[in-house]
Chains A and B, each alone.
Chain A
Amino acid sequence: MDNIAGSKSSLTWIVHISVALLVALWLFPTVGLLVSSFRTTDQISSSGWWQSLFPTEQNVTLRTTDPDDEGVQTLVDGVYTITGNLFEEAGAEISVWGSSSRAIDAYTAGETVDLGDGETITVQANGDYVWTGTEELSGRGQRVFATAETPPEFTLDNYKRVLFSGSSTDSMAKAFFNTLTVTIPATIIPIVIAAFAAYALAWMDFPGRAILIALVVGLLVVPLQLALIPLLRLHLNIGIGKGYLGVWLAHTGFGLPLAIYLLRNYMVGLPRDIIENAKVDGATDFQIFTKIILPLSFPALASFAIFQFLWTWNDLLVAKVFLIDSTGQTTVMTNQIVELLGTRGGNWEILATAAFVSIAVPLAVFFAMQKYLVRGLLAGSVK
């Protein structure tokens, strides 16, 4: 559009850079959480997550094999020799090292050092060492203080702990299934109810239709905060109490205005001819609805389903008020995370993993069905 006048805009490269910056800025927080969830407690508390993507230089204390172990010492040319590698895992690289804690950077890699009493040790950059002595080596393994560059290291332990450990405070498995239990009925039921109502509001003529539509538009913005006390009281009075049934009903009620509004707007746009032809051919309203309108409205149904799914999955307030009782058996993931924030505020490996488990499903749904989400947003707010 900008090169219509014949000259390519010189701003193009600025646009590319700005968009890249903007995207980086928006991704940065989530990536931080994701990376942190793959790090150990020590790693998280010793360096920022952005450093974990590159090799880090650390001061480490290492120890050679214990000379008293069976068969480690060999007699080569009259000297007792122990060889091996200081690291458990390969990949680290030693730059400088020392044999006492007072001078940890005394020698460079590859140097051979006299330890006194006829003992010497040679340490290579990759951690290979040769420890020799004129007499039989004894005592514990020789300590080596080294400054080593270690490669990025990630672990799945946090996920194992959060998903499979069964620990009552850290485990998200139960909360995950509870959330799923809340979400699926709370997504499906309002769709059914709203679809029929939307059909009536879109294609049936009756007095009061305009007022009903206005009412739905009005209820669209009523804050659900108002509904908390009266409905909780109602639920307690009629015996539903706090539980799944209550939270399903509440989500159904709160989701209906948007459902009716979206579906009605979509159904109104369907071609009138199809419906009139069907009527002429003798179809009843019920048949028209189930055989024609419902299949044609699939995009709108999908849009609303995604909205309602994201909203019920991510909800905290409704679950806290209508579902979670004092036993805590019915906790959902959002609530579990808030509790973890209180009890394990400093344990980022648990928090990050728990949070990522809870946002993984919505993210998957988001990327898989983004088209319908965007369509729903546009239908829901632009007029």
Chain B
Amino acid sequence: MHPALQGLLTIFLGVGGCIAYFYFSNQFLDKVLFPAKGDNAGRNINRANMVRPWLFLFPAIFALGLYLAYPVFATLWYSLTDRDQGGAFVGLANYRQMFDDPKFWEAVQNNMLWLLVVPAASTAFGLLAAQLTDRIKWGSIAKSLIFMPMAISFVGASVIFKLIYDTRPVAQSQIGVLNAVWLQFDGGVGSFLILRLVPGLLMICAAAAALFVAWGMIQAARTGKGGSLATVMRAIGALILTAIGFVALSLAYGAFTKTFDYGVPQTWLTIPGWNSFFLMIVLIWIQTGFAMVILSAALRGIPEETVEAAIVDGANPFQVFFKIKMPQISGTIVVVWTTITLVVLKVFDIVFAMTNGQWETQVLANYMYDKLFRANDWGLGSASAMVIMLLVSPILIWNVYNARKEMR
């Protein structure tokens, strides 16, 4: 049968089947099982109303259980067994094998880098775009254009950016924008300004900001306000921020001392260390629109009186933004950040289409796909899927906790 016909038939059967199921099961409940007449009419109505929710819920619960809940446990089980030995239980052997694989650690390291850079950059750009577009007349058009990449598939975006990163031999004219721009640099004053001074200063600023916040956290931790858990969290946060600060400082040092190959076209996606960033740009490009839409709604939700009061008191636009608006939308920023974090943890298509994990760009989701469908090692694949699950679970718990709190 032609697939399109099959599709139509499936829509018909699926939708028709669902509606028929709901209709007839309700009829059965009301007319046959607990008819609302005769001696026990009252009791029957109550009973029917107790059963009915489950009639409505059954298909959804069945599908959710089979397609999402069951696989979590099945994958956990597969990660502890070996397919070649007929599914025998092998304990943590798969995990041990995975931890001995340098490619795995490369994937973890890259994923951590993605987790730091992409949500931060997307949220920052989104906030910038939201704040700027809210104040001008053609803001809604600008927003819709920045939001547009959301509709583009990761694969399509990969093609778009592969064209940007394209490299031709020295003698030919460059068709990739990045190389065309790169060849404009010749080591003169302009190159020093753009390639050394600006990134170097940016990195120094970032390091200073990170260390400043870390210092604040240490101060707060020493006073011990908010109990021991908060103190521990603050200490961990300070530690991470300090590490980021030092990384930024070393990058700043690198920006001033690195020797550049002026006039030589670069194959951007094969430069270890930098190529991951070129892949991240693709995701940042896509996710900024999402962050902007949500944050823009949050910015509009800020009561105007607070902003007015600040302006009357003589606050400048920057103070209004950082001291009045930012604290009021911090909750939304967290939501945006976690949502993008979830996307990043599952990022697969971009790496798969652009480098396929070569040149040290491996990430966990692609590593897992590699093990599952190329190496055909289901145990190892399941083990790496469990690692992704483990990284997601703090967000899962946090979401469930918030949802329960809200329900009460």
* B60–A374 touching, CB < 8 Å: no
* A362–B3 touching, CB < 8 Å: no
The interface stretch among B113-121, B222-230, B260-268, B307-315 is: B307-315
Q: Quick one: CB contact mask for A173-192 with B, threshold 8 Å, 1 for yes?
A: 00001101100110011001
In B312-338, which residues have CB < 8 Å from any A CB? Answer: 312, 317, 320, 332, 335-336
* A18–B78 touching, CB < 8 Å: no
A269 at the interface (CB under 8 A from B): no
Q: Please judge, given known A-B contacts A49-B175, A214-B404, A226-B388, whether A378 and B297 are in contact too, CB under 8 Å.
A: yes
In B378-407, which residues have CB < 8 Å from any A CB? Answer: 378, 381-382, 385-386, 388-389, 392, 395-396, 399-400, 402-404, 406-407
* B68–A355 touching, CB < 8 Å: no
Q: Please judge, given known A-B contacts A189-B11, A244-B3, A337-B155, whether A44 and B175 are in contact too, CB under 8 Å.
A: yes
* A222–B392 touching, CB < 8 Å: yes
Q: Please judge, given known A-B contacts A48-B180, A214-B403, A377-B294, whether A365 and B151 are in contact too, CB under 8 Å.
A: yes
Q: Please judge, given known A-B contacts A248-B10, A338-B353, whether A30 and B407 are in contact too, CB under 8 Å.
A: no
Residues of B within 8 A of A334 (CB): 153, 155-156, 349
Q: Please judge, given known A-B contacts A223-B385, A253-B67, whether A192 and B18 are in contact too, CB under 8 Å.
A: yes
Residues of A within 8 A of B308 (CB): 1, 4
Residues of A within 8 A of B154 (CB): 314, 316
B139 at the interface (CB under 8 A from A): yes
B204 at the interface (CB under 8 A from A): no
A197 at the interface (CB under 8 A from B): yes
* A321–B373 touching, CB < 8 Å: yes
Residues of B within 8 A of A193 (CB): 18, 59-60, 63
B207 at the interface (CB under 8 A from A): no
* B53–A30 touching, CB < 8 Å: no
B133 at the interface (CB under 8 A from A): yes
Residues of B within 8 A of A210 (CB): 404, 407
A204 at the interface (CB under 8 A from B): yes
In Å, the complex CA distance between A354 and B155 comes to 11
B234 at the interface (CB under 8 A from A): no
**Count class of interface residues, chain B:** 35 or more
Chain A residue at smallest Cβ distance from B56: A200
* B159–A337 touching, CB < 8 Å: yes
Q: Please judge, given known A-B contacts A18-B132, A29-B285, A230-B75, whether A204 and B56 are in contact too, CB under 8 Å.
A: yes
* A227–B53 touching, CB < 8 Å: no
Chain A residue at smallest Cβ distance from B27: A286
The interface stretch among A19-27, A76-84, A100-108, A137-145 is: A19-27
Q: Which listed residue, A30, A223, A348, A370, touches B175 by the CB 8 Å rule?
A: A348
B329 to chain A, nearest CB (A): 10
B24 to chain A, nearest CB (A): 10
* B400–A382 touching, CB < 8 Å: no
* B133–A19 touching, CB < 8 Å: yes
Residues of A within 8 A of B129 (CB): 19, 22
* B175–A45 touching, CB < 8 Å: yes
In Å, the complex CA distance between A252 and B14 comes to 11
Interface of A is mostly: helix
Residues of B within 8 A of A219 (CB): 64, 68-69
* B63–A32 touching, CB < 8 Å: no
Residues of B within 8 A of A316 (CB): 153-155, 348-349, 352-353
* A381–B339 touching, CB < 8 Å: yes
A225 to chain B, nearest CB (A): 5
Q: Please judge, given known A-B contacts A47-B173, A206-B53, A341-B353, whether A33 and B160 are in contact too, CB under 8 Å.
A: yes
The interface stretch among B101-109, B212-220, B247-255, B364-372 is: B364-372
A275 at the interface (CB under 8 A from B): no
A131 to chain B, nearest CB (A): 33
B142 at the interface (CB under 8 A from A): yes
A227 to chain B, nearest CB (A): 4
Q: Please judge, given known A-B contacts A178-B3, A189-B11, whether A229 and B174 are in contact too, CB under 8 Å.
A: no
In B70-100, which residues have CB < 8 Å from any A CB? Answer: 70-72, 74-75, 78
* A285–B26 touching, CB < 8 Å: yes
B128 at the interface (CB under 8 A from A): yes
Apart from A1-B135, A196-B18, A337-B159, 16 more pairs, CB < 8 Å: A5-B312, A19-B133, A26-B149, A181-B7, A184-B11, A185-B11, A193-B18, A200-B57, A219-B68, A222-B72, A222-B396, A254-B67, A260-B60, A334-B155, A374-B293, A378-B293
Would you mind naming 29 contact pairs between A and B with Cβ atoms under 8 Å apart?
A4-B307, A19-B136, A19-B139, A29-B164, A30-B149, A184-B11, A192-B18, A199-B56, A204-B53, A213-B407, A220-B399, A223-B389, A225-B365, A229-B71, A230-B71, A234-B66, A244-B3, A249-B67, A253-B63, A286-B22, A316-B155, A316-B353, A317-B348, A334-B155, A341-B158, A348-B175, A355-B159, A377-B294, A381-B336
Please list the residues of chain B having a beta carbon within 8 angstroms of any beta carbon in chain A.
Answer: 3-4, 6-7, 10-11, 14-15, 18-19, 22-23, 26, 30, 50, 52-54, 56-57, 59-61, 63-64, 66-72, 74-75, 78, 125, 128-129, 132-133, 135-136, 138-139, 142, 144-164, 166, 168, 172-177, 180, 285, 288-290, 293-294, 297-298, 304, 307-308, 311-312, 317, 320, 332, 335-336, 339, 342, 345-346, 348-349, 352-353, 365, 368-369, 372-373, 378, 381-382, 385-386, 388-389, 392, 395-396, 399-400, 402-404, 406-407
Task: Name the 8 nearest CB pairs between A and B, nearest first.
Answer: A253-B67, A314-B153, A197-B60, A230-B74, A366-B151, A200-B56, A227-B71, A355-B159
